[in-house]
Amino acid sequence: MKEHLEGQCQCGQVTYRVSGKTIALFVCHCTECQHQSASAFGMALWIRDYLKELRTGSTAEWTRTMPSGKQLVGEFCPVCGTRLFHQVAGQSEIMSIKPGTLNIALPLDPVAHIWTQSAQPWVSIPENVLHYPGNPPDFDAIIETWKTQKNASGARHDKR
């Protein structure tokens, strides 16, 4: 079932709607995410088989090389600089939305923390989530845990 997510940058110049299936929400503590977010960590909401529509404005892009050698393309508002999306170059099935840009917050918690070896010492990482000192070997466990959490949340909402 497709989900519809809407959001915007900080100044409101860029607004968007993305339709697709959310497959993961996680926190990244790598120093690149700390720099990009100007905070202690970044967050990523992965969406599969998506359709992205910019409703207003346009984005600019910045590309960096990841430790794997792959290129990561970040899209941001050229007016206020808010990062909106990330995607591995040449990978068209999955895109990452910066969840802080959503108009309505997701009712679910992140299921994993990655690059915890770079976490700020004051950050408290819940023990009941997946955590990895660096990049996980793959994201299968994160995706499966997200699916389980979404299904459990949907079952709780159905019983009300």
Encode pLDDT of 71-80 as tens digits.
Answer: 999 999 999 9
Residues lower than pLDDT 50 in the chain? 156-160
Nearest to 15 by CA among 60, 49, 62, 53: 53
CATH entry 3.90.1590.10 includes domain 3-154: yes
- pLDDT value of residue 154: 67
Q: Note the pTM of the prediction, 2 decimals.
A: 0.89
Question: Domain ranges in the chain?
Answer: 3-154
Half-sphere exposure at residue 4, Cβ-oriented, CA atoms within 13 angstroms: 2
Instruction: Give the Cβ contact number of residue 40 at 10 Å.
Output: 15
Q: Could you give the CA distance from residue 101 to residue 55 in angstroms, rounded to a whole number?
A: 14
- pLDDT value of residue 157: 41
